[in-house]
Amino acid sequence: MDVNMTNQTDCKNKSVKEPRSFTQMKKVGYLLSLLFLCVLVTGCKKNSQEDNSIIILPTVTPTIEPTVTPIIKPEVNREGQAISKLTGLWVEEEIANQRPFAVMLNNIRVANPQSGIGDAVILYEALVEGGITRLMGIFEGIDKTTKTAERIGSVRSARHYYVSFADEYDAIFVHYGQTSYAIKKIKKLGIDTISGMEGVGVNSFYRDKSIKAPHNAFLSLDGIQRALEKGKLRTTYEEGYQGHYQFYDSDKDLVGASLAGKVTLKFSSTAKPYFIYDSNTKEYLRYQYDDKHIDANTSEQLTYKNLIVQFVKEWNIDKNGYQTMDIEDASGEGYYFTNGSFIPITWKKNESTRFMKYYNKSGEELIINPGKTYIGVFPDNHVSDVMIE
């Protein structure tokens, strides 16, 4: 009995006790399950974090390029127009083709202000006897552009060097009297003239009796017309005439230039005109006798886009004090002023080629700005009397 009980107990103990290898496998299984659960929980947590996270990106403001509106200049209708040979500006074809008039103008103090002088698109100034200067205005389309047709002057007598200047423009030369030297030059060049003392011009002038002679002879457009008809004078440029100057197409500033806000030409102790640059209009305003130089017809001050100062050899020709100057087959120096600055230039004249030519320091023909031009012909032995500020 004891044996049986012992056997039963052993059998019971054997049936309850598991093998060692199985127990180990079971532990490994638990560990693997636990590891898998940890991975699963971690993955879910990671996914949960990724799903619930809000990623804030920086705000990028797009750069808006400014809209550039092209400037379209209205096309200018130039039909019926042409470039002026005197100013380089657009004018009516009829005016551009019309022969200009070169009018001798009195310039002593008692004759100021002159009438119609503001309509001259080119103005020459040079010494005559007694330390005074005389002016010559080149008028373009005189019957269409003068602001007061009944009064141009006062007109004075001719000097021979002015005859040469007038010929450069194929102009009709207008004067009231002349020296013997001027008569010779007129005949030599064959230039057309309207003189108040002889020929076709005797009925072209009138005298203002309120002004003392000889400073009271004036020209009218009616008088000019009578002279043209009586003398059957040519009224358009001669065939092949190309013009005196080269012009820029538009306004240009000088390169490598020096400033010139004020220019004074001291011809003598009494004749010392000066010019002041106006930066608003980009023109030079003329003054003389310590006052504005104005046109009596309009009360407007004389202004110029271009100033040319030309130094010449000059001397007395006789006991009367008449002047002469070396401008035929000659050369010299000078200055060109525009837009508030200036450059040195040279000039050369060959009478057989008609024109006075101006050159820059490189020896190229001078190109000037479109507009009105003043030319001061100044003694080369007094260069220091041209003062530039």
Domain ranges of the chain: 81-388
Place of tokens 């024109």: 355
Threshold 0.75, pTM exceeds: yes
CATH architecture of 81-388: 3-Layer(bba) Sandwich (3.50)
Cross-strand bridge partners of residue 264: 274, 387
pLDDT in tens, 239-290: 999 899 999 999 999 999 999 999 999 999 999 999 999 999 999 999 999 9
**What percentage of the chain reaches a pLDDT higher than 70?**
79
Identify whether the C-beta of residue 333 lies closer than 8 Å to the C-beta of residue 344.
yes
- Mean pLDDT for the chain overall: 86
Q: What's the pLDDT score for residue 112? A: 96
pLDDT in tens, 94-143: 999 999 999 999 999 999 999 999 999 999 999 999 999 999 999 998 87
Using N-to-C axis directions, what is the helix angle for 160-167 and 180-189, rounded to 10°?
A: 20
Report whether pLDDT(23) > 70: no
At residue 207 the predicted structure's pLDDT band, cuts being 50, 70 and 90, is very high
The residue type of 322 is: Y
